[in-house]
Structure 1
Amino acid sequence: MTQTAPAPVDRAVQEWLATFGATDADAASLLVDRQEPSAVAFTTVEVDGDRLIATNLTFGELADASKRFATALADLGIGRGDTVGVLMGKRSELVVSLLAIARLGAIYIPLFTAFAAPAIEMRLTAGGARVVVTEPSQVDKLDGIDVTTIVAGDQFDGLVDGSVPLEQSVAVGGDGTLILLFTSGTTGAPKGVPVPVRALAAFSCYMTYGLDVSADDVFWNAADPGWAYGLYYGVLGPLAIGRPNILLHAGFSAALTARILTELGVTNFASAPTVYRTLSKDSSISGFSLRRASSAGEPLTPDVIDWARSALGTEVRDHYGQTEHGMFINNHWHDDVRVDVVPGSMGFPMPGYATGIVDGQIAIDVANSPLIFFTGYLDAPDKTAARFTEDGAWYLTGDTGRVDDDGRYFFTARDDDVIIMAGYRIGPFDVESVLITHPSVVDVAVVGRPDELRGEVLEAFVVLGPDVDGSDALEAELQQLVKTGFAAHAYPRTVHFVDELPKTPSGKIQRFLLRQR
């Protein structure tokens, strides 16, 4: 069956576009000020020894603090069009800073806390930021960078408490830039993506139809707000639709994740595939009863999908998107657009998007996709042009895929990750999905290596579990697993046993680095 959006869905898309795309759109007012002041916007969670300290943050508290912090930033010379970096984890000051920056018509640059100083400096320099809001554990990374720093704690609190509320927010309109977010650098240098206020319409659509976040849910998007999925759908999306999210200010572990799911009664969970994969490898993690579970970032492997049905009480639905657009092809959860999942498929286009396959790539039909918000990379016209067909009609994702007779999309690989061996096109995901099912394998990546006879051959990089040693016998076993589980010609000619895989801070495998080894 081919999925089409019903009339109520189309009307919802138009209403979001009218709200967030208006010429007088005021981001801070739309995200916070219009909400019920006493309603919970976020629940922040800190870990103190054996205790979890959960604190509710209301929309009224956010409104007041962000208005005061906006005044403090204005006193530092920040105004419309200026950029401000924010280098901190999932804590209330991050949200206050984002909203304060928006109130001034300024632009928020997210900085991931796992970045080293050079990565931070590159983004601040490219974005032209003069001020950075950070936290004590991160402040040393800013040494030697020509910026003014504001540190969470006494300094931040003092500025908020000592400033009068900003009387009037700046309305930059739907086309005004709200965020400057840099891509993860999966295949090369990161590129700056200006995100306009009207992107909130697309975020609202995904929160509603992709994730199906309802008023009764305890929602937790565990992704880091230093990257698109965590920022778009862990901070901005929840604010836009007035639904609270959980902000856990602690590092990831399977045990802690399980504890949060249990003690806070999470019913709707969204995270990266690596989180689900790690949970699935721990036999003690089971028995939850989630209403919805969603994944994005890299395709889910079949073993995780099978595990989730019993361990989480629901299936995990795979969703697809990019920094440039957010999510736009999904195995949607909402009743109005939900259909049965076909294993390996990432689903159907989200309402507000029309898609197709162009030159083998997953592509967006620009004229027929009213929720599209990408207009180009920061100061990179050549890279921008390369993202579109010559006539500008289609945006090219750089990811290859296919569509079945019912209109479902299947991801194959990033265009430069496709392996062509003796004329056969092999997507690394297919081989990785087989290798990960071996009980000794914790993580895996497959790349192509030049071969004089076949053009390319496959090589696998495998991370083994604790107390498992790589051996010739295990290599042969993994090769045979691919021959029997996928295709005889597609087995990896060499298996490298490694301690870890090179990944971007958002968890995407950097296969181009593996090809350079």
Structure 2
Amino acid sequence: MESQMNANQQALAWLAEYRSPGASAAHLLCDRHDSDAIAFTLVEPDLSFDSMTWAQLADESRRMATVLAARGVRRGDRVPVLLGKRRALVVTLLGLWRLGAVHVPLFTAFATGAIELRTEGSGATMVVTDASQRDKVDPISAVTVLDVDDLVAESATAEPLAESVAIGGDETLVQLYTSGTTGKPKGVPVPLFCLASFQTYLHYSLDVSADDVFWNAADPGWAYGLYYALLAPMVAGRTSLLLNQGFTPESTVDVIAKFGVTNFAAAPTIYRAMRAGADLDGITLRRASSAGEPLTPDIVSWGVDNLGCEVRDHYGQTELGMVIGNHWHPELAEPLKTGSMGQAMPGFTGGIVEGQIALDVKASPLLWFSGYDAAPEKTAERFTDDGAWYLTADTGRVDEEGYFSFTSRDDDVILAAGYRIGPFDVESVLAGHSAVNEVAVVGRPDPEGIRGEVVEAFVVLAAGVEPTEDLETELKNLVRDQYSKHAYPRTVHFVESLPKTPSGKIQRFILRR
């Protein structure tokens, strides 16, 4: 109890500092740190690397700010940035924030349509990108395209910006868009004081220490990567590793081995791929964490045997950052409970309201979401009528010790013969079978018109396993015997892959079609 109180007090201290009217993003994210310490380790696909100090980041971003200002960037402007995980990305973002501009993240796997939705939705008039991505942006007639390599070359001889804009803690730092798992992506304004929440997660849930080699493998085009591979390490003054390429199991293991990564965070998809096809000899982690999708229990035990530590599940949303977790910090660490994503993070108080995982607004001082951009009706859906609770639209449970368990997105609940079935519960059972690499469960209309919906499973098999009628029957019986007779899948589809958003979340609405 005392440790929890101390953690809450620390979180509130960060909040008070970062929410002040004079708060400056450039100061909090860079200028106050030890100038000689390493800010980022930037790794190329061939594993060559470059280390950037806080002094270098400060100087290069000040020069970049001068160049961006000359191109017309002003305080409050929304500026989408479409770049890989390279040095110019970090320099450009901090250059924008020095001017008081707002970063609109874009993911390099986006096609033109997704980019246009975010540029038009944010009211942006210019986009920063490079030659590898330009063909996606050029068809968008309403924006000016700035080539980052031209900006970098110009900034080499530019005068550094003399004084960075202090926007204050309540002003917008980032305008991010939801992943579109359940519908059209929505704009989420992220205020500067969100940094208090992000640092609390880095410190207490991930337990990133000064001695760690920390790597969050998520892409900064999405919330988990932007919040916790860039912003959280920057505000805390911790070194963060960025790999300038997409994910493969082999490259992930190679980076962990070469750079001696001790604290690793990634989506469940990455852990499953590593389990299916990577040589993990010699890999030993101090901390391993998962977020973005529910973590099935089989990955937790696999981590103990293959990574040197259990994989701890954490929960959050684009609108919230991370708010619930199996915290790693020794002051808050508790034994894992099977199927649970942990307890509320310091600075947050949660419960179950209207069947959904919810946050008590008054009792959650680190809660920073105030509404979607220009979408009051969608915003209203996120709060109870009296405004007292934020509703996640995720159904779940909480026990007497405050451990939360996820069951499904509210849209994904399966209504079968009067029962409400959470896909995650069924998926957890199926994922424990040695033949299963990945699985998604959805509800489909009952062809007999009796049960309302029936459960159907889509299974990606482990390497070398052949689909058979016997295996389908075995998987059905596994759910029937280990979970519930009413929830077993009436059909098991063996598929090559599951439809996912670019951030790795399963798109169950596509499977329901």
Q: If the TM-score is normalised by the length of the shorter chain, which range does it land in?
A: over 0.9
Find out whether 1:327 has 2:359 as its counterpart: no
Match of 1:149 in 2: 145
User: 1:470 offset after TM fit, Å?
Assistant: 2.9
User: 1:144 offset after TM fit, Å?
Assistant: 1.6
Query: Aligned equivalents of 1:338 and 1:438: distance in 2?
Result: 29
Q: How does 1:202-217 map to 2 (within 5 A)?
A: 202-217=197-212
Tell me the SS of whatever aligns to 2:319: coil
User: 1:10 offset after TM fit, Å?
Assistant: 2.5
User: 1:489 offset after TM fit, Å?
Assistant: 2.5
Match of 2:195 in 1: 200
User: 1:487 offset after TM fit, Å?
Assistant: 2.0
Aligned length: 510
Match of 2:450 in 1: 453
CA displacement 1:271-303 (0-9 Å, x = unmatched)? 100111111123632442211110001111111
- For residue 497 of structure 1, what is the amino acid of its counterpart? F
Q: Name the CA shift for 1:468/1:340 in 2 (closer, same or farther; >3 Å).
A: closer
- Consecutive unaligned residues of structure 2, counting only runs of 5 or more, are none
Q: Name the CA shift for 1:45/1:248 in 2 (closer, same or farther; >3 Å).
A: same
Moved more, 317-326 or 461-470: 461-470
* C-alpha contact 1:297 1:508 (8 A) present in aligned 2: yes
Q: How does 1:268-307 map to 2 (within 5 A)?
A: 268-282=263-277, 284-307=279-302
> Among residues 43, 66, 69, which one is paired with 1:71 in the alignment?
66
Find out whether 1:368 has 2:363 as its counterpart: yes
Match of 2:175 in 1: 180
Query: Aligned equivalents of 1:431 and 1:66: distance in 2?
Result: 49
Q: Name the CA shift for 1:283/1:134 in 2 (closer, same or farther; >3 Å).
A: closer
Q: TM-score, normalised by structure 1?
A: 0.96
* C-alpha contact 1:287 1:310 (8 A) present in aligned 2: no
Tell me the SS of whatever aligns to 2:58: helix
> Among residues 476, 480, 483, which one is paired with 1:483 in the alignment?
480
Find out whether 1:32 has 2:30 as its counterpart: yes
CA displacement 1:37-72 (0-9 Å, x = unmatched)? 111000000023xxx112101111111111111111
User: 1:4 offset after TM fit, Å?
Assistant: 7.1
Q: Name the CA shift for 1:191/1:283 in 2 (closer, same or farther; >3 Å).
A: closer
Tell me the SS of whatever aligns to 1:345: coil
- For residue 21 of structure 2, what is the amino acid of its counterpart? T
Query: Aligned equivalents of 2:459 and 2:344: distance in 1?
Result: 33
- For residue 149 of structure 1, what is the amino acid of its counterpart? V
Match of 1:109 in 2: 104
* C-alpha contact 2:215 2:264 (8 A) present in aligned 1: yes
- For residue 469 of structure 2, what is the amino acid of its counterpart? D
CA displacement 1:93-132 (0-9 Å, x = unmatched)? 1111111111111100000011111000110010111221
User: 1:421 offset after TM fit, Å?
Assistant: 1.4
Tell me the SS of whatever aligns to 2:45: strand
Query: Aligned equivalents of 1:482 and 1:395: distance in 2?
Result: 33
Tell me the SS of whatever aligns to 1:66: helix
User: 1:134 offset after TM fit, Å?
Assistant: 1.3
- For residue 19 of structure 1, what is the amino acid of its counterpart? E
Match of 1:511 in 2: 508
CA displacement 1:8-35 (0-9 Å, x = unmatched)? 3222112211211001111111110111
Q: How does 1:490-509 map to 2 (within 5 A)?
A: 490-509=487-506
- For residue 220 of structure 2, what is the amino acid of its counterpart? P
User: 1:440 offset after TM fit, Å?
Assistant: 3.0
Percent of residue pairs identical: 58
Match of 1:348 in 2: 343
Q: How does 1:260-271 map to 2 (within 5 A)?
A: 260-271=255-266
Query: Aligned equivalents of 2:21 and 2:405: distance in 1?
Result: 37
- For residue 495 of structure 1, what is the amino acid of its counterpart? V
CA displacement 1:348-374 (0-9 Å, x = unmatched)? 111101111101100010011110100
User: 1:472 offset after TM fit, Å?
Assistant: 2.5
Match of 2:21 in 1: 23
Query: Aligned equivalents of 1:380 and 1:4: distance in 2?
Result: 41
Match of 1:464 in 2: 461
- For residue 147 of structure 2, what is the amino acid of its counterpart? V
Query: Aligned equivalents of 1:114 and 1:283: distance in 2?
Result: 24
Q: Name the CA shift for 1:4/1:495 in 2 (closer, same or farther; >3 Å).
A: farther
Q: How does 1:366-405 map to 2 (within 5 A)?
A: 366-405=361-400
Query: Aligned equivalents of 2:340 and 2:348: distance in 1?
Result: 17
Tell me the SS of whatever aligns to 1:481: helix
Q: TM-score, normalised by structure 2?
A: 0.97
Find out whether 1:14 has 2:12 as its counterpart: yes
Query: Aligned equivalents of 1:335 and 1:277: distance in 2?
Result: 27
Tell me the SS of whatever aligns to 1:204: helix
- Consecutive unaligned residues of structure 1, counting only runs of 5 or more, are none
Moved more, 457-466 or 282-291: 282-291
For the aligned residue pairs, the C-alpha RMSD in angstroms reads 1.4
Tell me the SS of whatever aligns to 1:171: coil
Query: Aligned equivalents of 1:193 and 1:345: distance in 2?
Result: 27
Moved more, 80-89 or 230-239: 80-89
User: 1:5 offset after TM fit, Å?
Assistant: 5.1
User: 1:467 offset after TM fit, Å?
Assistant: 4.7
- For residue 352 of structure 2, what is the amino acid of its counterpart? I
